Amino acid sequence: MRLAFALCENQATALVDTGHGWRPVLTERAKVAALVDLRRSDVLERYRYAWSGTEQVRAGLFGMTGLRDPHLVQHADGSPYVREGRVYLTWTCAGLGFFQQAHWTVWSMDPAAPEDMRLEAQLFTRREGLVLGDHAGQVVRDGDTWWVANSSWGDFAPGSIHVRHTTTDDDVLSGVHVLETEPTDLPTEYGTWDPAYTRIHGTWHVGFVESPSQDPFDFRPALASTTARQWADGLSLVAAADSLHQCEGPIIATVDRQTWLLASDGDARSYPVFSLDGRRVGRLDAPYPTNIPHPQLVPDPAGGWLMVTFDGTQYAEEVMGYGGHGDVVVMHSG
């Protein structure tokens, strides 16, 4: 038998493997958080990995129980960022619990062999003295600068969710990073998440989710724009899809020289398509897996398009509850 012990945010989980894969047997957050806040930088600095005895031991960063929220790493004009023939995508790594136990990562992929996915970087956020697993965002290369934007799921509570951003010269596509972020001034009074941003002919087009309520959840895609040098400055609202209530995952994609805002509608089980003036113009003709899969398009150098997304496959839901989901799903255009 093998034994594992994991800390994701303030949640502790014990797992065993008797030869048939890892199985969680016990998890607890409230009692742990009442004793120690493992999100605090000053607390984390006091701890190290330690063990005794002669048994084989491995220690390090927790991986994931599923992947979701893929977003292509792009240049500012929307073209994929490529190194040695590999494209890069950010993914939310589902943790052993709810949204607060997840974290954000960067993976590379060979479009000619999409099953060849490789973990490259892990991205955490430091804000208000806490180290958090904020996730669901996009990384954009603009000149010599990395723009990083994500959503404040790391300490999620209804009424608190919002988009945050930062810039850095560090290579966020490699290694482990803890980034200082600030709130993004999006043109809405509601909660926000899932930022997407691309500059076309001098105008930044910014897609995001706006959410009037997170208890119960009610959310829809919105679009803003600015001609400022930095994408997060001086944004004005273009449109919001007020008739949609379970629609997220906005993706800005250019196909045949025309740029669209794509999204995922969990109620209709389809991918609505919007023009950059906010008009709904149709839907993406693609299969719709479980959960609310994001329609991330990736050009195939051999022709056509890949759609890289996820589904709602759960991990040990009877012990871990909702949040540990996400099998990777890759489709190809006909």
Average pLDDT for 188-199: 98
More confident residue, 116 or 55: 116
Say how far apart CA 176 and CA 158 lie, in whole Å: 29
Average pLDDT for 72-82: 98
Per-residue confidence (pLDDT) for residue 185, from 0 to 100: 98
Per-residue confidence (pLDDT) for residue 54, from 0 to 100: 72
Average pLDDT for 23-42: 96
For residue 56, what pLDDT band results from cuts at 50, 70 and 90?
Answer: confident
For residue 84, what pLDDT band results from cuts at 50, 70 and 90?
Answer: very high
Per-residue confidence (pLDDT) for residue 172, from 0 to 100: 98
Per-residue confidence (pLDDT) for residue 52, from 0 to 100: 85
Backbone angles phi, psi at 127, to 5 degrees: -155, 140
Quick check: 51 pLDDT over 90? Answer: no
Average pLDDT for 62-66: 95
Which residue, chain included where needed, has tokens 């790493």?
Answer: 73
- Ranges in the chain annotated CATH 2.115.10.20: 66-332
Quick check: 207 pLDDT over 80? Answer: yes
Instruction: Give the pair of three-digit tokens for residue 93.
Output: 């790594």
Fold of 66-332: Tachylectin-2; Chain A (2.115.10)
Compute and round to an integer the Cα radius of gyration of the chain. 20
CA angle 28/30/34 to nearest 5° reads: 125
Per-residue confidence (pLDDT) for residue 55, from 0 to 100: 76
- C-alpha dihedral sign at 64, 70, 76, 79: positive
Per-residue confidence (pLDDT) for residue 70, from 0 to 100: 98
Per-residue confidence (pLDDT) for residue 53, from 0 to 100: 81
Cβ–Cβ contacts within 10 Å for residue 226, how many? 19
Per-residue confidence (pLDDT) for residue 306, from 0 to 100: 98
Say how far apart CA 136 and CA 164 lie, in whole Å: 11
pLDDT digits (tens, 9 = 90+) for 12-22: 999 999 999 99
314 Cβ contact partners less than 8 Å away, ≥ 6 residues apart: 66, 322, 324, 325
Is 290:301 a contact under the CB 8 Å cutoff?
Answer: no
Per-residue confidence (pLDDT) for residue 248, from 0 to 100: 98
Mean model confidence pLDDT for the chain: 96
pTM of the model: 0.96
Is 281:258 a contact under the CB 8 Å cutoff?
Answer: no
Instruction: Give the pair of three-digit tokens for residue 316.
Output: 């040990």
Q: DSSP readout, 6-59?
A: EEETTEEEEEEESSS--EEEEEESHHHHHH--TTBHHHHTT------SSS----
For residue 89, what pLDDT band results from cuts at 50, 70 and 90?
Answer: very high
Average pLDDT for 241-257: 97
Quick check: 72 pLDDT over 80? Answer: yes
Quick check: 239 pLDDT over 90? Answer: yes
Is 209:87 a contact under the CB 8 Å cutoff?
Answer: no
Say how far apart CA 64 and CA 77 lie, in whole Å: 31
pLDDT digits (tens, 9 = 90+) for 301-329: 999 999 999 999 999 999 999 999 999 99
What's the one-letter identity of residue 268? A
3-state secondary structure 69-121: EEEECEECCCCECEECCEEEEEEEEECCCCHHHCEEEEEEEECCEEEEEEEEE
Say how far apart CA 96 and CA 66 lie, in whole Å: 10
